[in-house]
Each structure stands twice: as C-alpha cells, then as structure tokens.
Amino acid sequence: MDAKFDKLINEVTNENNKDYTIQELLDQLLKDDSWEPDPGKRFQTVMMLKSKLNNA
Amino acid sequence: MNVKLFNQRIKNIVDAAAFKEPEKVPVGFEGMYWQYGLTGATLKELNEGDYPFEDHVKRYCRYLNKIEFDYTMNIGGYEAYDAYLALGSDKYPMGRDDCTVQHNQVGYHFMTDEEYELLIAEPAYFMNEYWPKRNVPAFKEPRDKAYAMLKEAAKCVRRSADFESEVCKVGVRDYSIVPVLGMTASVPLNEMKAAGIFDQSDQPEELQYGSRFAMYMSTLDNIHDTYRGMLDTFADLSDNRETLDAAIAAINRVKFEEFKKMPPQMPEPNALPMCGCIFHISAYISLDDQMKYWFEDFRRMLLPWAEAGKKIYMKGEGSFMHVLEPFREFPKGSIIIQLDSDDPFEAKKVIGDHQVICGGFPLALLHLHDLQKCKDQVDRCFNELAPGGGYMFNMDKPLLSPSDGDIGLLRDLYGYINEKAKK
C-alpha cells in the first residue's frame, strides 16, 4: 500500500482493531455454528451482513 | 393452496406483458411497515419482546384478510434495524412509532477527496476493510468484543430473513399472491414445491415460477448512495469526471472478481421470478450520462435474460421519464416499469406501446379520505392504461408507516379495483 495513505488508514485503526480484519471476523462467523446450525443459512446470512457492512 | 388462482395470476402478468388483455389486469400492493397498524403491537415489541416468531408472522399477515391483490414486490421485508443497533450503528434507527425503520442519511460523513484516491488505488481493501472500520462502531473494539457484536448482528439479519421467508410462504400458500422478485421469493417458493405444497408441472415452462434471476444496480448508484453522496456525486459529474470514472472502473474490477467466484447463472425462460433493477441517480442525470453510467451495463447484464423470456421489474424513485426511451432496445414486454413521480398517462405515450407501465395511483390521494376521488383515479387508470394490455395496476409509492393509509378506505378501494380489473 502506498505510504501516502498511511494517515487515512491510521485514522480508522487503533490499538483495539489493528490485529484483525473484517474478513477474518466474517470467516469466523461462517464456521461458527453456535448462532445458526444450518451452513446454507449461515452462508446466506454472512453474505447479507457483508453487504450491509460494505454499504455502512 | 389455490394453485389454479396462483397460476392464473402468473398468466395474467405474462399476458399483460405480451400486450394481450389479461383475464384480469394484475393488481399490485406494496407495503412495508404499514401492516403494523393492524398487528396490535409494534414491530419493536413483536421483534424484540416476548412474542413468539410465529405470532409475529401471523399478526403481520392480518392485512391479507382485508386487502385482496395479485402480486407484490416486497411481501414481508423489514430492514434489520436491530442488526445495525447491535453493531453500534445509527444508520437505520427505529422511528418514534416503533414500527417504521428510518434511513438516517443526515449524519453521513461521505468520502473525501483523499479517500477517493484510496478507493481507486485499493478498491477491495477500501470497500471490505477500510469503509466498515471507518463507519461501524463495533470495529473500533477489540477482536472478541467486535466478534460478539457481529454475531449478534448476524442473528438479527437471520431473523429478518426468516421472517420475510415465512410471510412469503403465507402469502403464496393461503392467498395465492405472486411475489414478483426472486430475492424475496425464489427460496421459499422452491421449498414449498419440494414439500409438495404446490405443483406447476402441468404449466408451460414460461408460466412456472422458476428459481433463477439477476439483480442490477449501477456502480454510479453505488457511489452516489454509499460513498460520495448526492451533492459530491453531482459535483464529480460536473467537473471531476476523470476521478469518478476511475472509481467506477476500480469498483467494477472488484465486483468482477467476486462475480467470477460465483456459480454461473444461465438465464431461464420462466417469466418469474423477475430480474430486478433499481433507479436512484437516473432521476437526476442527463440521458447521455444515463446511457454511459447505467444503461450500458444494464444491457450487458440483463439483455440475455430478457431474450430468454425473463421479465425485468424496474423500481424507480423520483422522475425518470427522460431516460425511458432506450428501453425500446429490449424485447417488447420484457420490462415492467414501476413508476414513481412520473405521470403514468404521459409515460404510456413515451414507452407504453413497448414496455409495461406499472402504477397509476398516487398514494397521496388516500390522504384525502375521499373514496369517490380515489375511484375516479382508478377508473382513469383502467380506461386509459389497460386497453390492449401492457399495464399492471399499482400505487406510485409503497405504504411505509401505519399512518400512510386508512384500512377501511383501502379495503373498500381494493374491492373496487379488483372488480374494475376484470374483463
């Protein structure tokens, strides 16, 4: 990534969130059957959630 | 389930689109949160309180006993406001009536010029990582807490999707209503077929409710709605086109990479479920810009579906009469144009001999509480728009809040509409 974007990226990154990505959290959600046992429904829900996050 | 009625309603839609006068002009109804005026409890109470899920569905569907209609675009969808709440976001807050979910655009902080550069240079990172971390409070938290909030949001999204699916099943099974868009209906309808609830194998393929569809939203709409906002997008169209075009190309590259990962979707000849597309920015741009930023991708994506026999449902917001002419390039009767602010009688002259006009009744008329005035408008719709086919009745806007329409007036009005719609 070009260093000219460092300032922007630093503004959305803090000590709390610097060690994970949104994609990692979504992947974890996809594997986690504690909130939805049906893998098909899990996949559909994660896709819907991802779309909401992208448009947030 | 009254399969005969369901099949007849599909045939009426297909006949209207073929510019043949159907047995009955298809009558549509669109509501979203208005239905909560009849539920005896608010959306917030039914969704978050002690009410069982089944009770929420049952209460929501009460309006189906009052109002008869043939088709709908949205049969039970509510925006998952509680998912945004779980993420700490105020993007879709609940309204004061605890029934109507609002879209909070007032406090938006749209993309700056520096961020524009980041989007163009690193579009996948920008869309999937930077933008959510910038805007969603949950992602300011440490991993474990952020994950817990995300999981809670996922449960809310799931509950909303399950609700929509269940309402769709009730609408089809108990009222033979045809959901026109696949996003809402293709999964529950095919589950019902698999469960033997209804069988259409005796129908021609064109009239069977299929399973495949495509949705189109232009990348310029995406930039306008999400990243840049209305004023800055207009400024870009005026004097920053190079940057705007570069951003569109960057987003399209990401979309294309995502698209390549999906299983191929071959167009099917079934007219329904329809493909869908949304008009947002089209109301505000010139015909030249509409062709460049909207129509060319639309044609590339949806023309093969239209040529295979699939219908396309266009839902617009605002006035878009000035961009309707190019839809003549699509096969006759392949596009259902749901009008919003435009005069349906003028739209009929512009495109109504080639594509289907849908609408005709201004929601604002309901607020006069004058049944005769409403009937006069209905008469005009059927007298001027319906002859020769190519017309589907609907209102110009959906009933959003419980206060948007009196149930007694609507019941009497829809009784009249359904009589007029018959040959």
- Closest among B399, B330, B389, B325 to B17, alpha carbons compared: B389
ipTM for the predicted complex: 0.97
- pLDDT class for B262, splitting at 50, 70, 90? confident
| Structure-token pair, residue B350 | 């512009």
B114 touches chain A (CB under 8 A): yes
Give the one of A8, A23, A50 whose C-beta lies nearest to B118's C-beta.
Answer: A8
Mark yes or no for CB contact B151/A35 under 8 Å: yes
- pLDDT class for B74, splitting at 50, 70, 90? confident
* Helix orientation angle between B53-60 and B143-175, rounded to the nearest 10 degrees: 50
pLDDT at A54: 84
Residue with tokens 């309204």: B95
Long-range contacts of A35-38 (CB under 8 A, 24+ apart): A35/B151, A35/B154, A35/B155, A35/B158, A36/B154, A36/B155, A36/B158
B307 touches chain A (CB under 8 A): no
Distance from CA of A45 to the nearest CA of B (A): 6
- For chain B, the maximum distance between any two Cα atoms, rounded to a whole number of angstroms, is 64
pLDDT digits (tens, 9 = 90+) for B203-252: 999 999 999 999 999 999 999 989 999 889 999 999 999 999 999 999 99
pLDDT digits (tens, 9 = 90+) for B378-407: 999 999 999 999 999 999 999 999 999 999
Taking 90 as the threshold, does the pLDDT of residue B279 lie above it? no
Mark yes or no for CB contact B157/A5 under 8 Å: no
B53 touches chain A (CB under 8 A): no
Mark yes or no for CB contact A22/B158 under 8 Å: no
CA distance B109 to B166: 37
**Angle CA B303–B389–B180, to nearest 5:** 55
Report DSSP letters for B285-346, one per residue: S-HHHHIIIIIHHHHHHHHHHHHHT--EEEEE-S--GGG-GGGGGSPTT-EEEE-SSS-HHH
pLDDT at B75: 87
Amino acid sitting at position A51: S
Taking 90 as the threshold, does the pLDDT of residue B265 lie above it? no
- pLDDT class for B423, splitting at 50, 70, 90? confident
Distance from CA of B142 to the nearest CA of A (A): 4
Taking 90 as the threshold, does the pLDDT of residue B25 lie above it? yes
Give the one of A25, A45, A56 whose C-beta lies nearest to B135's C-beta.
Answer: A56
- pLDDT class for B135, splitting at 50, 70, 90? very high
CA distance B50 to B41: 11
Question: Whole-prediction pTM value?
Answer: 0.94
Report DSSP letters for B346-392, one per residue: HHHHHHTTTSEEEEEE-GGGGGGT-HHHHHHHHHHHHHHTSTTS-EE
pLDDT, mean over chain B: 94
Tell me the mean pLDDT in the region B59-81. Answer: 94
Residue B161's φ and ψ, nearest 5 degrees, are -65, -40
Report DSSP letters for B237-290, one per residue: HHH-HHHHHHHHHHHHHHHHHHHHHSPP----S---SBEEEEESGGGGS-HHHH
Q: Do residues B330 and B309 touch, judged by C-beta distance below 8 A?
A: no
